Amino acid sequence: MPADSRAGRVVVAYAGGGHPHVFSRIRLMAERPDVEVAGIYDPEPERAAGIARRTGVAVLETLDALAERRPDIVISEALDHEMPAIGEGLAGRVPLILLEKPGGPDLPAVRRMLERLEAAGTEVELGYQLHYTPGLDRVLDILRTGALGQVTLARFHASTPIGCSMELWQSLPEDLGGLMFTEGCHMLELILTTLGTPASASGSIRRLPAGASVATTRYKRDLFSAGGETTTLQVGTGVHEDVAVATLNYADLVAVLDLTGWEADDWVSRWTMEYYGTLGTLQVFLSPPSIRLHLERAGGGHEAGVTCWAPDPRAQATPYEAQLDRLVRRARGEKTGDGVTAGLGLDVVRVLDAI
């Protein structure tokens, strides 16, 4: 539905700000001349006030006050256990809502909220920004054309930097889990997008014995932490898991996902997607984005041998920018494709529940 915008601008409001992505998603929208940021509601007034001080947005005291602003888009960066009440409270009252992934604390809560939003006619996008990584369309094309032959094995790796799985938003006792639930969901969305939904899934979720103590500057002690402070954290002392592995079973292939909360590198820099076929191998790197394709023989419009691809970073929007741009264009009534729909988001949580 085209936006009922003011002065030709799309109106965006924020509902919940406990997740740190709130700052980048406020900044990116505020920088757009075609967007008006109406303000932020948060169930914790002090948190809302802190976000307002840092970003300059107005505080909206209640969900009713937010709805009265008639936003074209609502972005919710609520903590997982806060998300269902916000989503259900806005069902049918706003046309389009982006929910921070995975969308709630567990499968029953996510399913109920998404069903109510859908029934009320509110369109949903889940906050899986990596879906908009440059090159994903190329990956889908390679898989769709059959250039790899039969893919028998797919392997995926994700992680957090040292100890970042112990940050607040990864360590909610109300959540189904930690590392796999709050970070593995990103990679699971990409797995389901490229391979479809598995027939079954199982996992090994491990909280390790108390082990090494490691100093890090990447850990954020709270929402308003500037980062860069040195913090010492110990393996095996978090609320949830330290490492996790999942096996996803398809009719004719197996996919494996592994994660660690203790990787000695920056966010997403070692995340990889690998597809092993009878005629070739495809390797995908997410940050910085690049693709390496090896084919035994030409096929599907691709040459034999090794082909490497990487985008020009100067000509590419970041995944965050691309996702928010899609929302704005969607609010204006443009055809933008499906994005990360409620159905896909629910499937991710269904697989997480099985794991």
How confident is the model over 260-271, as pLDDT tens digits?
999 999 999 999
Identify the sign of the CA torsion 349, 168, 231, 285.
Answer: positive
**Nearest-angstrom CA–CA distance, 69 and 129:** 26
Q: Is the pLDDT of residue 236 over 70?
A: yes
DSSP 58: P
The average pLDDT across 122-143 equals 97
Q: Which residues of 160-198 are buried (b: 16+ CB within 10 A; e: fewer)?
A: bbbbbbbbbbbebeebbbbbbbbbbbbbbbbbbbbbeeb
pLDDT, position 7: 64
When pLDDT is averaged across residues 63-80 and rounded to a whole number, the result is 98
Q: Look up tokens 């990864």; give the residue.
A: 170
Q: Edge-to-edge, what's the strand order for the sheet holding 123-126? A: 35-41, 10-15, 73-76, 96-99, 123-126
Contact at 8 Å (CB) between 156 and 146? no
Which has the closest alpha carbon to 139: 282, 37, 31, 27?
282
The string of DSSP codes covering 20-34 is: THHHHHHHHHHT-TT
Computed over every residue of the chain, the mean pLDDT equals 96
Residue 55's SS3 state is helix
Residue 64 has pLDDT above 80, yes or no: yes
d(CA 266, CA 199): 33
Name the pTM for this structure.
0.96
H helical segments located in 98-183: 107-120, 136-145
Say what the pLDDT of residue 1 is.
Answer: 42
pLDDT digits over 161-197, tens only?
999 999 999 999 999 999 999 999 999 999 999 999 9
Contact (CB, 8 A) for 270 and 285:
no
**Residues 276-309: pLDDT tens digits?**
999 999 999 999 999 999 999 999 999 999 999 9
Torsion 221-225-231-236 (CA) sign? positive
- Non-local CB neighbours of 53 within 8 Å, separated by 6+ positions: none
Provide mean pLDDT across the span 119-123. 98
pLDDT for 5? 46
Residue type, 327: L
State residue 8's pLDDT score.
86
For residue 190, the 8-state DSSP code is: H
CA dihedral 25, 26, 30, 34 (to 10 degrees): 50
**Token pair 């049918």 in the structure block, residue:** 92
The partner residues of 62 in beta bridges, in order of sequence, read: none
CB atoms within 10 A of CB 285: 19
200-206 and 289-295 beta bridge pairing: unpaired
What is the pLDDT averaged over residues 193-219? 97
Mean pLDDT for the stretch of residues 332-344: 93
pLDDT at 6: 60
Cα–Cα distances in angstroms (integers) from residue 7 to residues 3, 10, 33, 334, in the given order: 11, 9, 11, 19
DSSP-H helix ranges across the chain: 21-30, 45-55, 63-68, 83-90, 107-120, 136-145, 184-195, 319-331, 342-354
